[in-house]
Structure 1
Amino acid sequence: MHHAASGHGPLPAAGALAALPVRTVALWLLIWALPLVMVLVALGPDHVLWQIGLFFSRIAVVTFGGACAVLADMTQEAVGGFGWLSPGEMADGLFLAETTPGPLIMATQFAGFIAAGSHPGSLSSHAAGLLGAGLTTWVTFAPCFLWIFACAPWMERLERAERLQGALAAITAAIGGLIANLALWFALHVLFRSVSVAGLPVLSSLDWRATVIAAGAALLLFPLKCGIMPTLALSAAAGLAFSAF
């Protein structure tokens, strides 16, 4: 009993573990798919809500590394691919998620709201936006619970899998590149009003106010070692002051 509790006893057979999550997977697949089926039946495959459900289901499944990695994929597709949001709206969603309680991943909810509200089809804009936000949240989090409950019996075995640990290390390195790419994308679209199709900034469109605030924030954070909250407060105050002119 002591060995089993401490995690150093023999691992259960893989065959015994494989039978455990079948019902869990089936249940969570049903929970995940139910709102998508309702949208498909009620509005059809051409409605933006169906596209939103499929898109955010996909990024919830195939994106590793937390919210920043999800946002990198979402930004490229929602802005550049589908055209649901403008770069400015995407930046607003990120900043709103960063400055309000709750996880950063809730920026997806903002994107779903704007995407559906801007393309409501037969629905009202407000109703479509609310449905888009709710559907986005549902299909973003349902797969997470599926993986958690389905993989829980396997966690001890997975922790000892050396090949898996090596794969996760490689994924972690790739995620660092994704986050750097996302930071560069937001920096370009915040500091410059216009960015070319090739992704290069139009130098004449430089926003001097955003540049001054960004430089001031960098100065406060790094050389002066100022805290996050004072830096945010001072940056917000500077933004309000600049907007008055």
Structure 2
Amino acid sequence: MTAFDGADSQVGTRPTLSELTGVFARIGCLSFGGPAGQIGMMHRSLVEEKRWISEERFLHALNYCMLLPGPEAQQLATYIGWLVGGIRGGIIAGLLFILPGLFVMIGLSAAYAIWQETAWLDGLFFGLKAAVLVIVVEAVIRLGRKTLKTGFLRGIAAFAFVALFFFGLPFPLVVLGAGIAGFVAARMGDKPDLPLAQSADLPEKRRPLRAVASLLLWIAVWQAPLLLLWALSAPESLAAMFSFFSRMALVTFGGAYAVLAYVAQVAVEDHGWLRAGEMVDGLALAETTPGPLVLVLSFVGFLVGFREASGLGVIAGGALGAVLVAWATFVPSFIFIFAGAPFIERLRGNAVMSAALSAITAAVVGVILNLALWFGLHVLFAEVVKLPIVPSLGLTVSSPVLSSIDLAAVALFILSAFLLFRFRLGLVPVLLFCAFAGLALRLSGLV
């Protein structure tokens, strides 16, 4: 029995690998806007349009991915690919979510390393941000309607939003707290009405020895480049960089922003891989490329390879550094899914654990709402400041400077919302329209 055989009856037919490849290639090329936009895009494409997976299975997978270190959207793509296409489907979906952005990042990093300038990117991607904001808002509305069915779950979502937006708590801590609250509530008898899977719908139990052997194999694949670097006597900085980002892959809870300051400190002050300010430029590049925002780390790898492995040619050395960092960062995500997803799927038949995961789903709605509001403030206003509410408790709120409103961004946001909600246009036409509209506005000097 494949993973897809346990899917709910309301979903459509199982996709072929070629169909899966085509859909995830499109998602990978259009996955702008960070995790909220990417999750919203996958939900729209895979749950509502293609109907490859049910709402419950999508949210169950998302709950697990939100608890993992690393890029949750890429892990979700891998999980869904595994559900509908097995190991091959998971590898295809996960890779296609990364590769378009990685190729673009390598190209932009090369341009940056040669010319040391990124301002020309603003015009090209100005309109995309407004369209992605609509996708994020749509994701919040859809997920909220379908998951927040009780007062308890609505309270969990509200708690998650307040904890993140006002107190700035780490979102893994918030999500974990929600899971514990759901578990405790279920143990006390407050079990939500959940569509639990029957035993016939669950994957076969994995033999412990086979699971351990599979885990060790994937770990060996993950660390194989390090052995190759040592065997080829590559520059010591490349091996040190690969080791550092391998460790970071296991603790990158909260996405790129959560680890950016620490990575910048190590890269600039401890190792001298980057100059001050270059990490910020790298983040600007990553924000204008599809794929996970944590691809900013490949920018660091490119500059290290560009400067330290120039014997291969500066561009080839930079590309090697970027690929090494991407390998160290993203391979663990495949390990987490292929090793853990079969066990997580079996939890669908456990009422108490499903209740805990249902609470996590509610918290995820609050997380995405926080991301949507943060993203919206920074898209529609040029200046956003932190205002203290209760300084003694560290309670602050992000507030826009009203005079800094970007009327062109507001207009594109309203227009893209009209096209998406009123005319039901697909994601591709809306994104392309806004991208070209933003570029035209920038070139005309109106923004």
Report TM bin, short chain.
0.5 to 0.7
User: Partner residue of 1:68?
Assistant: none
Worse-matched range after superposition: 172-181 or 50-59:
50-59
What is the RMSD computed on CA atoms of the aligned residues? 4.0
1:114 aligns with 2:299: yes
1:25 aligns with 2:222: no
User: Partner residue of 1:35?
Assistant: 225
User: Partner residue of 1:66?
Assistant: none
Summarize deviations over 1:144-197 as a string: whole Å, max 9, x none: 433444347656744433333223222222222222233333323333334446
Change (3 A) 1:89 1:29: same
1:89 to 263, 271, 285: 285
2:381 to 156, 179, 192: 192
User: Partner residue of 2:416?
Assistant: 217
Residues 7 and 156, structure 1, Cα contact 8 Å, conserved in 2: no
User: Partner residue of 1:101?
Assistant: none
Residues 188 and 201, structure 1, Cα contact 8 Å, conserved in 2: yes
Summarize deviations over 1:59-78 as a string: whole Å, max 9, x none: 3xxx6xxxxxxxx6223432
Equivalent-residue separation in structure 1 for 2:247 and 2:316 (angstroms): 19
Equivalent-residue separation in structure 1 for 2:248 and 2:407 (angstroms): 36
Equivalent-residue separation in structure 2 for 1:240 and 1:37 (angstroms): 45
Summarize deviations over 1:182-216 as a string: whole Å, max 9, x none: 33333233333344466543444333322221222
Equivalent-residue separation in structure 2 for 1:200 and 1:235 (angstroms): 26
Show the 5 A alignment for 1:1-245: 8=200, 17-35=207-225, 42-43=235-236, 50-59=243-252, 73-78=255-260, 81-83=262-264, 84-86=279-281, 88-92=284-288, 96-97=289-290, 104-105=291-292, 107-109=293-295, 111-118=296-303, 122-123=308-309, 126=315, 129-151=318-340, 154=343, 157-196=346-385, 199-244=398-443, 245=445
Summarize deviations over 1:68-100 as a string: whole Å, max 9, x none: xxxx6223432x5545345643421xxx31xxx
The count of residues paired between Structure 1 and Structure 2 equals: 215
Residues 24 and 146, structure 1, Cα contact 8 Å, conserved in 2: no
Equivalent-residue separation in structure 1 for 2:318 and 2:377 (angstroms): 28
Letter in 1 for 2:214: T
Equivalent-residue separation in structure 2 for 1:39 and 1:205 (angstroms): 50
User: Partner residue of 2:148?
Assistant: none
Change (3 A) 1:117 1:144: closer
**CA apart distance, 1:239:** 1.0
* Greater relative contact order, per chain length (Cα 8 Å cut-off, separation 6+): 2
**CA apart distance, 1:243:** 1.3
Equivalent-residue separation in structure 1 for 2:242 and 2:385 (angstroms): 30
TM-score by length of 1: 0.65
Residues 248 and 329, structure 2, Cα contact 8 Å, conserved in 1: no
**CA apart distance, 1:242:** 0.5
Identical counterparts, % of pairs: 31
Change (3 A) 1:229 1:23: closer
Residues 32 and 138, structure 1, Cα contact 8 Å, conserved in 2: yes
Summarize deviations over 1:102-140 as a string: whole Å, max 9, x none: xx44x433x233233456663457456423432343234
Equivalent-residue separation in structure 2 for 1:75 and 1:232 (angstroms): 25
Residues 192 and 207, structure 1, Cα contact 8 Å, conserved in 2: yes
**CA apart distance, 1:223:** 3.8
